[in-house]
Amino acid sequence: MLKSGLALAAAAFLISPYGPVSLLKHHDANGRWEAELTDKDCGEKGAGLCAQLTLKTGTRLNRSSWGFPVPVSAFTGLVATTDDYSADKVHFELRRDAGTVKFDGNFDRGDGKGDFTFVPDPQYEAALRKAGFGSAEETELLALALQGVSTARVTELADRGYAKGGIDDLLAFSIHGVDPQFIDEFKSLGYDHIDADDLVAMRIHGVDGDFVRSMKQDGGHRRSIDDLVAMRIHGVDGDFKHELDDLDVGGLDDDDLVSLKIQGVDADYIRGLKDAGLDDLDADDLVSLKIQGVSPEFVRDMVRSGLKDIDVDRLVAAKIQGVSPSWIKEMVESGLDDVDLDDLIGAKIQGMDGGYVRAMRAAGLKDADLDDLVGMKIQGIDPAFARKFLEEEPGADADDVIASWHHRGSNRHHRGT
């Protein structure tokens, strides 16, 4: 729920159709204005000449200032037609249902300044109370005027059950473009009585009717608002879902789709893994592989190494432990054969490399398999010890070397005690 956040946003920082409007409650609704005339776009098609307006209220120690563009045509009494307009003692007004903002001052070659006053409309205040929105402070009425929230809009939103949120929700709806048409469209899609905070979140993140229709699920399942917002935030759309469906990545729920998108798992990545020899992948497999940096190229190289029983868990473990195709090649070329990936992962964990294998072979352990070598590595047996023992005991094997090492250690322990 976003209630507290919305209340602060509505009272302290407005994003109007014309730009940012900073507005703090309990400030005076009258103050100073500045304006710069410009022929740049005002945010409305065909708006014509634009006034880049700045309003300032409050004292030096407690001042609020906000700026936003307004089409010159929206003012009554401002006769400027070019951006170099000059005039002394101008008076013009911005008339809205919520009240009228009156401006007095002057313009010098397109730059204007002066004082403004706001006159609330008592009938609008009465309409707010009648609709159930409650009483509004003067600064809130100024905000509603600047936002252009009409009496008709107040009634429309109240009729749809959104008066209980008060002025904060009314402002938040206007700031973020939650209008009756938006609400009605979602009602037609099966989403009735959506919480006000959710409506704002949907607007902020671009959850609209087209998005919901593109994400329609089999069996008529209706996604929650939270799921829709999460998917939109992370870029999960209908195209993404359909691509995964086409690749037979089955059993995906909404959380899976979001997780895959967050980790950067896309259709190309999945297709590459399948082409490399991995199939029947679920969302957990794909996320694990992607997190650990298992690329299709890595999978292909591991398959080419000739190892059997390559699966997702082993590939992830291999990547974590640094078992690379080049390291496997080094181990095989050092004289090991008939090894599997689990054995190699265990060897890597113990810090074994091709040099250790070759040194043990040269010491005389030509028939030692990987388990033998790992066992000796764990015990800390080095090639020098193995060579000396085998010179003294021709025909001994790896088990004998390990036993001798233990015996030597036991003797050392007894001597120490």
Res. 188 pLDDT band, cuts 50 70 90 = very high
Q: Which residue has the tokens 């997780």?
A: 259
Cβ atoms of residues 343 and 371 within 8 Å: yes
Do the strands 31-38 and 111-120 form a parallel or antiparallel pair, or are they unpaired?
A: antiparallel
The rounded distance, in Å, linking the Cα atoms of 25 and 7 is 11
Residue 384 exposed, middle or buried by CB count within 10 Å (0-12, 13-18, 19+): exposed
**Lowest mean pLDDT: which of 38-42, 259-263, 355-359, 375-379?**
38-42
Res. 222 pLDDT band, cuts 50 70 90 = confident
The rounded distance, in Å, linking the Cα atoms of 327 and 267 is 30
Extents of the domains making up the chain:
3-162, 177-233, 357-417
CB atoms within 10 A of CB 417: 5
For 305-343, how does the pLDDT look when each residue is reduced to its tens digit (9 = 90+)?
A: 888 889 999 999 999 999 999 999 999 899 887 888 999
**Lowest mean pLDDT: which of 67-76, 142-151, 248-257, 344-353?**
248-257
- The helix (run of H) or strand (run of E) holding residue 111 is strand 111-120
**pTM for the model:** 0.73
Res. 46 pLDDT band, cuts 50 70 90 = low
- At residue 39's C-alpha, the angle toward residues 33 and 42, to 5°, is 70
Residue 283 exposed, middle or buried by CB count within 10 Å (0-12, 13-18, 19+): buried
| CB crowding 88-117: b at 16 or more within 10 Å, else e | eebebebbbbbbbbbbebebeebbbebebe
How many angstroms separate the Cα of 120 from the Cα of each of 102, 140, 160, 192, 204?
Answer: 11, 10, 26, 34, 30
Q: Would you say the C-alpha torsion 214, 219, 225, 226 has a positive or negative sign?
A: negative
Closest CA to 115 of 81, 77, 89: 89
Res. 410 pLDDT band, cuts 50 70 90 = low
Cβ atoms of residues 281 and 312 within 8 Å: yes
| CB crowding 290-306: b at 16 or more within 10 Å, else e | beeebbbebbbbbbebe
3-state DSSP assignment of residue 369: coil
